[in-house]
Amino acid sequence: MSYKSKIRMSVGWIYPITILCLYLTAIAEWVIRGHLQQMGQEVSSFPQIAIFLAAFFFAGMGIFQWFRYRNWIYPVLGILIGTAVMVWPFARYSESELFLVTYLVAVILFFLLVILKWSTIYGHERFELNSRRLFRLAGERIFQTSDGYTERLYPGGNISYTHDELAGFVRFLHGNYVVRPFYYENCVHLAFSMNKSLMVIHEPAEVSYITLDYQGRITVRISEKDYRDYTERLSFDQLCSSMAEVFIRFIEYHQKGLETRITSELKSAGNIFL
Amino acid sequence: MDFKKAAQLASCISKNYAEDMFRLLTTYQSISASEAASRLNLHIRTVQDFLGELYEQDILSREEVYEGKRPYFRYTLIAERIVIDIDLVKFRKEGEIIHEEAGVKIREKKNSDARFTTSRSNDYISHVVIWQGEGRSRTERKINLSIPQGRFMFHLPFPTAQALTISEIMHKAGLDGAHMPEIADIIRVLIGFGVIEEVKFA
């Protein structure tokens, strides 16, 4: 049984693939330029086209990730690194100091932001990784593809737990960047998402979430964006039911003191790139 | 009494000249529209319509009289009392019959384009928003649900799930039979808006 192809490729995969392609483009361009120089043409040996492509790629990806994650750090970092890449050849070969200053400012700001916003970047990546694992776990045993998306909450059943057990369970999942909890008077919403960044949301309704109330009722809400990230239109009610079962299983593990099973089960669901 | 007939009768006797008209009808052995109109200083057409409606309700009888060239009607009161009797329980039974006796299972319709808002307690739907029309003429229709209706909607099977009978869904929602009429009502409305679909079974 293979379930890895059920979820679309992560955005994280685009970076290594494209950077590798850009390296190959740069080498090809360098070889062509060297060949043209040997033929007597006055061309620079510097792979300018590859450099420009790389700059646009980083800036473009930053903007793309803004639309996907709604986290401002990505477009800012993307534009900064794109600017740095774009002006690097000019900073190196031009006599004007403006390019060098621009380059240095972009690089320094980039690293400064990465350091200052590290918790946001790290948190987002871990949340996305584990959300993908959750969705993969939920979808692994579903083979019916009849779509049927609806915004409604799915009543996922009941399980008995005490307030302390619930609080401990929620703390464990939050501490391991599996879900982001939102506490309400009579329930806890556990938010997770493959799309919008959990670091920037203000309420769980913006993403997918599980609701655990103090009477032991479990309800599931899967956002349309997350549902559309499956490569197949899995039967929606089965997906919601399966997601509820995953959490019920996790609660039972927690009640039995088998928290490591939760993490090992999540890890068994593959990595962020698949 | 048929509801439509009762509504027509109620509309008829609610006219501001109705009491005077009935006073005339009880006083005269028979009366024509022109006589009544001149007596009450009303337009003859108004009186003709009023008497015509009472005739259709079997409160008056009429006789066609030929005097001179044009025939006309003379109306005689035949009823001694007017009783409006509407059986409200019948409506409730109609709602139950449609779904329970017709052997119908229901579930949410695929791509219904409706928006469901859940209550703060997360155990019932507080309202459903339905979009109607296309383009600029697209309008929003919001239907607020009672708590039993909301609970029922909360447990309505998803579009791809196995359809259930109303009783089964009510059982899941923890509702008793007393709520059946209002549940049947909202089902009828939402079927009309294409939010719920009926799945016939053999």
Look up the ipTM and state it.
0.71
What pLDDT is recorded for position B100? 57
Residue B76 has a pLDDT of 92
Q: For residue A34, is pLDDT > 50?
A: yes
- Contact between A147 and B123 using a beta-carbon 8 Å cutoff: no
> What is the distance in angstroms between the Cα of B7 and the nearest Cα belonging to chain A?
40
B121, B131, B152, B160, best to mutate vs chain A, most A CBs in 10 Å: B160
Positions of chain B with pLDDT under 50: 101-102, 202
pLDDT at A3 over 70: no
Mean pLDDT, chain A, whole residue set? 89
How far A228 CA lies from chain B's nearest CA (Å)? 14
CATH 1.10.10.10 placement within chain B = 3-77
Question: What Rg value do the Cα atoms of chain A yield, rounded?
Answer: 23
How far apart (Å, rounded) are the C-alpha atoms in residues A47 and A56? 15
Using a CB-CB cut-off of 8 Å, the residues of chain A touching B172 are 155
Q: Which of A26-30, A141-145, B63-67, B93-97 has the highest mean pLDDT?
A: A26-30
Chain A neighbors of B108, CB-CB under 8 A: 150, 152
Per-residue confidence (pLDDT) for residue A270, from 0 to 100: 67
pLDDT of residue B120: 79
Q: Give residue limits of the domains in chain A.
A: 4-116, 130-268
The verdict on a CB contact (< 8 Å) between B158 and A155 is no
Q: Does the pLDDT at position A143 exceed 90?
A: no
Collect all residues from A whose CB is shorter than 8 A from any CB in B.
144, 146-155, 184, 186-187, 211, 213, 217, 219, 235-238, 240
Could A147 and B172 be called an inter-chain contact, meaning their C-beta atoms sit closer than 8 Å?
no
Average pLDDT (A260-269) is: 89
Which residues of chain A have a CB within 8 Å of the CB of B157? 237
CATH topology of domain B3-77: Arc Repressor Mutant, subunit A (1.10.10)
B108 to A152: CB separation less than 8 angstroms, yes or no? yes
Each residue's pLDDT tens digit, B134-151: 778 888 888 999 999 999
* A234, closest residue in chain B (CA to CA): B160
Minimum CA–CA partner of B195 in chain A: A150
Question: Across the A/B interface, how many CB contacts are shorter than 8 Å?
Answer: 56
Between the CA of residue A10 and those of A15, A60, B108, what are the distances in Å?
10, 16, 32
pLDDT of A174 > 90? The answer is yes
Q: Do the chains contact at B158 and A150, CB–CB below 8 Å? A: yes
pLDDT score for B138: 83
Chain A residues whose beta carbon lies within 8 Å of the beta carbon of residue B121: 186-187, 213
Q: Which residues contact A133 (CB under 8 A, 6 or more apart)?
A: A266, A267, A269, A270
- Assign A48 a pLDDT band (cuts: 50, 70, 90): confident
Q: Residue A248 carries which side chain, given as an amino acid letter? A: I
B124: helix, coil or strand? Answer: coil
Surface-to-core class of residue B57, CB atoms within 10 Å of its CB (0-12 exposed, 13-18 middle, 19+ buried): middle
Set of chain A residues whose Cβ sits within 8 Å of the Cβ of B110: 147-148
Residues of chain A with pLDDT > 90, as a percent, come to: 62
B interface with A, Cβ–Cβ < 8 A, is: 108, 110, 112, 115-116, 118, 120-123, 125, 153-161, 172
Q: Give the type of residue at A265.
A: E
- Per the CB < 8 Å rule, is A153 touching B122? yes
pLDDT at B92: 65
Are residues A236 and B158, on separate chains, in Cβ contact within 8 Å?
yes
- Sorted by sequence, the CB contacts under 8 Å of residue A20 that are 6+ apart come out as none
CA gap B139, B131 in Å, rounded: 6
Residue A31: what pLDDT? Answer: 92
Whether this model's pTM surpasses 0.90: no
What is the Cα–Cα distance from A43 to A31, expressed in whole angstroms? 12
Question: Among residues A201, A196, A155, which one has the least CA distance to residue A181?
Answer: A201
pLDDT at A1 over 50: no
Banded pLDDT at A181 (limits 50, 70, 90) = very high
A5 has pLDDT over 60: no
* B158 to chain A, closest Cα gap in Å: 6
Structure confidence at residue A234 (pLDDT): 86
